Amino acid sequence: MPKSRRRVQSGGRQAVLPFAPCLLAFAFATAFAAGPADSIVAVVGDVVILSSQVEEAANFLRISTMDTTESDSALRHQVLQRMIDDQVLQEQAKTESVDVTNPEVDADVDASIAALKERFGGEDKFKEALAVEGLTEKDLRQRYQDDSRRKLLARKLLDKEGLTQIYISPAEAERFYNQSRDSIALVPGRAKLAHVLLPITPGPVAESLGQRKITEVMDVLARGGDFATVAGSFSGDKKTASKGGDWGWVEQPKLPPEYLLVLSQLKPGQVSPPFRTLEGYVTMRLEGRQGDKVRFRSILVAVPVTRADTLRVEKLAKSLRAKAAAGAPFDSLAREYSGDPATRDSGGYLGEFLIASLTPPFDKVVAGLDSGDISAPVLSDHGYHIIKVLSKQPERMMTYLEMQDGIRNYLYQRKLNERLQAFVGRISDKVFIRRYD
């Protein structure tokens, strides 16, 4: 392969290679065979970089940094530049006989995994995030090993050049804190919450009438009644009744969970048994499937909620709140009365939330409560909630003394990255680089 002295630019600026353990900056050592849709995106020396490698590294970078804002194209562009720079460093390491040991890599990987688990908020959430990406911790550890080896190689190259001797003065760190305090020192308020949910349900008379009517509808269908005709005559769904209950082709993820569950058990042409929803009783007939889309018809027998139903549930909510305020165990009340199946068995525990991320009406309610307080009944689309603040940490600003070590480390890493980029710029002229945009 002919040699060419050429420095690859990325949109007029050179990409930064962070040393922080949580940033996975580099490519993987072993190139794998290109699939039918694969292509070469760059050549560095004798090493080929494939689009599939860039895609895999970009996905890995996104989960490791928990980034949700960078566009896919921008992230791939950033990752490719890092992979090119990394390979330049690999070539230089070979030239200077620089290497790292397995114990060094293992220690760095352990630290990176531990930091990532902490950022996700614990082992369980960490595993959930891996599952979403189709990864295991073993996969992650292997990829961190590749990244750590490259990171340590880069550090040793800079050590050899005497570029890692960087001093951050206390005055420089404090000046950075004062300039950036509003964006780096704010600790958002957090609260652990529990609730008792009392859905507003129809009274027994309305419920009985709804059950009787859906039974009549099912009898008509069982005697051979045309589903579309019956829907047009009986369905209380104003959006679909005039179309014979036809929903048209709908993407399945957009449907309510109870609809998806029932439809998953039907074959085209089959009619479901009636089932209860918030609106009333529903029966459906599956018309067909196309990929992730489904077409069906439905008949809704509405069971309306009246003002009397709302007042009845409000009265119960006030009674339970009074019991809780008088000392009744909140978790016991939740287990006995709450209509939230996701939290009832755990005594109503909802979890820990950033106070600023709470939506109405809970944001204002929680803002006015302290740790241990129990709210008055709060009405939402789901019914009446009685909320207990289990613990609360108000928003606060961290002091310079609390942040000085982290700031000095950040400034050190930033300067080290600048030196690394300058170093890569110098040595890249010795390496053949071609990028296929």
Structure confidence by residue, pLDDT tens digits, 338-352: 999 899 999 999 999
Q: What is the pLDDT of residue 66?
A: 66
At 379, the pLDDT band (50, 70, 90 cuts) reads very high
Angle of CA points 416, 419, 423, to nearest 5°: 135
For residue 6, pLDDT over 80 is answered with no
C-alpha–C-alpha distance, residues 123 and 63, integer Å: 15
Confidence of residue 283 (pLDDT cuts 50, 70, 90): very high
d(CA 90, CA 96): 10
pLDDT digit string, tens, across residues 200-225: 989 889 999 999 999 999 999 999 99
DSSP helix/strand/coil, 290: strand
Render pLDDT for 223-262 as a digit per residue (tens, 0 to 9).
999 999 999 999 999 999 999 999 999 999 899 989 999 9
Q: How far apart are CA 26 and CA 11, in angstroms?
A: 19
Is 287 in contact with 221 (CB distance < 8 Å)?
A: no
Distance CA 279, CA 273 (A): 16
Cα gap 122→124, rounded to integer Å = 6
pLDDT at 56 over 70: yes
- Model pLDDT for residues 132-141, shown as the tens digit of each residue: 777 788 888 8
Q: How far apart are CA 236 and CA 89, in angstroms?
A: 69
Distance CA 384, CA 387 (A): 10
Question: What is the pLDDT, as a whole number, of residue 154?
Answer: 86
Check pLDDT > 50 for residue 30: no
Report the DSSP beta bridge partners of residue 48.
43
Instruction: Show the beta-strand stretches assigned E in 24-122.
Output: 40-44, 47-50
In CATH, the number for domain 189-201+322-396 is 3.10.50.40
Given a contact cutoff of 8 angstroms between Cβ atoms, the answer to whether 74 and 1 are in contact is no
Phi/psi at 243 (nearest 5 deg)?
-105, 25
pLDDT at 55: 86
Kindly report which listed range (42-51, 377-386, 394-403) carries the lowest average pLDDT score: 42-51
d(CA 100, CA 106): 11
* CATH node for 40-185+400-435: 1.10.4030.10
Is a pLDDT exceeding 90 seen at residue 72? Answer: no
Q: What angle do CA 180, 113, 128 make, to 5 degrees?
A: 95
What pLDDT, in 10s, does the model give residues 409-429?
999 999 998 999 899 988 888
- What share of the chain has pLDDT > 70, as a percent? 90
C-alpha span between 45 and 433 (Å, rounded): 6
**How many residues are given for the chain?**
437
The more confident residue out of 12 and 101 is 101
Q: In terms of Cα–Cα distance, which of 393, 394, 395, 388 is closest to 193?
A: 388
Cα 358 to Cα 349: distance, rounded to the nearest angstrom? 16
Q: Tokens in use for 33?
A: 């065979």
pLDDT in tens, 177-196: 999 999 899 999 999 999 99
- In the chain, CATH 1.10.4030.10 covers 40-185+400-435
pLDDT for the residue 67: 66
Distance CA 212, CA 235 (A): 14
The CATH number that domain 204-302 falls under is: 3.10.50.40
Positions of CATH 3.10.50.40 in the chain:
189-201+322-396, 204-302
